[in-house]
Structure 1
Amino acid sequence: MPTYMDIHEIKGGIAAEEVAKAHASDVAVEGKYGVHYHKYWVNESAGKIFCLCEAPTAEAAMQVHREAHGQVAEKIIQVEPEVADLFLGGSEVNGEGAALLPGGAAEARDPGIRTVLFTDIVDSTSLTQKLGDEIAMEFLRVHDRIVRDALAATKGREVKHTGDGIMASFVSAAGAVRCAVQIQRELARREREERDHHIKVRIGGAAGEPVEKNNDIFGTTVQLAARLCSHAEPDQILVSTAVAELCIGKGLSFRPLGEVALKGFDRPVQVHAVECGQ
């Protein structure tokens, strides 16, 4: 049966208790429509709720909301359960069905915001042509090891390997930035100590919600992170304003680069470069 995720937007915010009651009402009538609501993510201050369910159709899922409490979602998209889990993690839920924040305080609800990070080996195709497949593959293995070590240290989740880079998801924006910094510092250390050819990597990051304008889970966030990665110079880390704002007070430094026109975005995007230090 297909899996769906929807978004509800409540102006002025919403209390967790109200969402819990609405979810209980969904569960009470879902069997009538062959639907099963698994869990939900709630951002109380922003008034946003994301519900994950299995349903025969999107309309059946919407009908449960309609009958249970009348709060019909603004948008619903079909998702692959495995992909949703890679981005959001196998979140534990409380007795009311609310997803809990991984690594957060007891009963801290997960708002569903994630930071997506892309790495990309610079000029990977020309490296293969210049140095041969064997050396190029060794470079890729070094990149993968460094990135995965950094992910493990900063609680990031690898979503997929892109061929010459890795896409990862983080609950913490600061964790994502620290991961990127660790990657670049380790590559810089390797460059100082190794005599062989050096690996140059660019990194891009963006933060957002699971259901956005795009019809894919975290679609707009993924697209922005990928574009920022492509726009970055070798050894550089570029992030969106949302990431920089989520990192306020976390001891991280950013340099505003102003607005940048990125492919696929109607308006220029404010971009920030992460100061890695040494």
Structure 2
Amino acid sequence: MPIYMDRHDVSNTVTAENVAQLHHQDLKIQHKFECRGLTYWFDEKRKIAFCLVEAPNEEAIVEMHRQAHGEVPNQIIEVDIAVVESFLGRIEDPESEHREALKIIDEPAFRIIMITGFDDCAFNTGKNKPPNLAQYLKSMGNVFGNFDGRIVKQQQYNFLISFKSVSKAIRCAIEIQKHFSERCKANDCSQLSLKTGICPGIPFSGKESFFKDSVQMAKRLYCISDSKMVVSHEVKMLYSDENPDVPLDRELFLLLDPSDEKFINSLMTYMEENWQNPNLQLSDIESFLGSSKSQVYRKLKSLTGTSPNNFIKNYRLQNAFELIKNQIGNISEVAFQVGFNSPSYFAKCFHKRYGILPSDLLQVIE
């Protein structure tokens, strides 16, 4: 039977005990609707509850809630139970020392999402890999655990991590960066850059998939990360609230404000939709963003350290690298697919960016 998560936006007067009572009422009649309430999360600060329910369909969940107490969900999505556990850490009610009839769960589903690691293209031929890279990546996994971070997904050279605590997420990021810097000094891998993007999120706010908005934002922050770890405005504020006397080091972190995030989201949305267009011009981006040429240049330079034209080119080359790695088309086809009119110019730019010709990279992969 499918597993669903529903969302309830409750009033400011609702408490964790109130939510526990509603959940208890659901459990008493759930069998009438072939439902099975697995657990729930309640965010006292944001006044949001999420319920995890096994049910035949969404309608059964709505009717169960309606007849139990009348508090029907605002939204429902179908979820993968393994993904839920990877982000939130559990799929059942937490263990309790007391076997009281009413189990009160005062735990939010709010999480801090971090993506950290290296782009695959940093190790194009294998020659650029620092010694003991596999051991280093394994040690990164251990560091996450030291700060109660859960590995949601590991790709070849980067990780998607979920944290309950913003302070632990930040301290973990600092520790990972410290380990990386020490290894770079010891192994002469100064050409590498550890990339990190950190943002907050809840399971869903609409009909999108589980933590989709948060993961997308973390990816975008990771994408622009270079010498500094990139932190969203909300993460910065949450950390400051918890650590008023320990400000984030601006030598280590790029701290965004709301206008920065709006700019990044708008820019990346446009690029994701138009990067394959060979006729894409900077003026098109300026028009979409509603900003002047000088404004776009200053903003992009301050956030990414590169000019708009280089950003567009590098974005295309990054996608080209992925296409070649996955052996999707020959070199000329890839060049045209990523928006280059000339395969020879594409090869020149690719070599300048990654230190290897695309044809040689294809041979290495094969």
RMSD: 2.6
Q: Summarize the Cα distance change of 1:158–1:194 in structure 2 as closer, same or farther, 3 Å threshold.
A: same
Contact 2:195 2:222 in 1 (8 A): yes
After TM superposition, the structure 1 = structure 2 runs for residues 193-208 of structure 1, keeping only pairs within 5 Å, are 193-195=186-188, 199-208=192-201
Once the 2 structures are TM-superposed, how far is the Cα of residue 149 of structure 1 from its aligned partner?
2.4
d(CA) in 1 for partners of 2:173, 2:239:
13
Q: Name structure 2 gaps, 5 residues minimum.
A: 271-287, 291-302, 304-366
The alignment status of 1:225 with 2:255, answered yes or no, reads no
d(CA) in 1 for partners of 2:289, 2:148:
32
The alignment status of 1:253 with 2:248, answered yes or no, reads yes
* Partner in structure 2 of residue 244 of structure 1: 236
Once the 2 structures are TM-superposed, how far is the Cα of residue 220 of structure 1 from its aligned partner?
1.0
Contact 1:13 1:45 in 2 (8 A): no
Contact 2:77 2:207 in 1 (8 A): no
After TM superposition, the structure 1 = structure 2 runs for residues 96-115 of structure 1, keeping only pairs within 5 Å, are 96-99=102-105, 109-115=106-112
* Partner in structure 2 of residue 276 of structure 1: none
After TM superposition, the structure 1 = structure 2 runs for residues 71-110 of structure 1, keeping only pairs within 5 Å, are 71-90=71-90, 92-94=94-96, 95=100, 96-99=102-105, 109-110=106-107
Once the 2 structures are TM-superposed, how far is the Cα of residue 20 of structure 1 from its aligned partner?
1.4
**Match for residue 166 of structure 2 among 153, 169, 173:** 173
Once the 2 structures are TM-superposed, how far is the Cα of residue 145 of structure 1 from its aligned partner?
2.2
Q: Summarize the Cα distance change of 1:13–1:44 in structure 2 as closer, same or farther, 3 Å threshold.
A: farther
Once the 2 structures are TM-superposed, how far is the Cα of residue 67 of structure 1 from its aligned partner?
1.1
Tell me the TM-score normalized by structure 1.
Answer: 0.82
Whichever structure has more helix as a proportion of its residues is 2
d(CA) in 1 for partners of 2:130, 2:180:
16
The alignment status of 1:6 with 2:16, answered yes or no, reads no
Q: Secondary structure at the match of 2:56?
A: coil
d(CA) in 1 for partners of 2:122, 2:2:
42
d(CA) in 2 for partners of 1:125, 1:114:
29
Whichever structure has more strand as a proportion of its residues is 1
Which stretch shifts more, 193-202 or 146-155? 193-202
Contact 2:42 2:48 in 1 (8 A): yes
* Partner in structure 1 of residue 58 of structure 2: 58
Q: Secondary structure at the match of 2:121?
A: helix
Q: Secondary structure at the match of 1:4?
A: strand
d(CA) in 2 for partners of 1:139, 1:6:
45
Q: Summarize the Cα distance change of 1:50–1:115 in structure 2 as closer, same or farther, 3 Å threshold.
A: same
Contact 1:244 1:254 in 2 (8 A): no
* Partner in structure 1 of residue 113 of structure 2: 116
Equivalent pairs counted in the alignment come to: 255
d(CA) in 1 for partners of 2:55, 2:41:
18
d(CA) in 1 for partners of 2:289, 2:2:
34
d(CA) in 1 for partners of 2:175, 2:16:
36
Larger Rg: 2
Q: Point out which structure has higher relative CO (alpha carbons under 8 A, 6+ apart).
A: 1
- Which runs of 4 or more aligned residues in structure 1 lie more than 3 Å from their structure 2 counterparts after TM superposition? 93-99, 135-140, 195-199, 254-258, 264-268
Which stretch shifts more, 190-199 or 151-160? 190-199
Q: Summarize the Cα distance change of 1:125–1:116 in structure 2 as closer, same or farther, 3 Å threshold.
A: same
* Partner in structure 1 of residue 310 of structure 2: none
Q: Summarize the Cα distance change of 1:80–1:173 in structure 2 as closer, same or farther, 3 Å threshold.
A: same
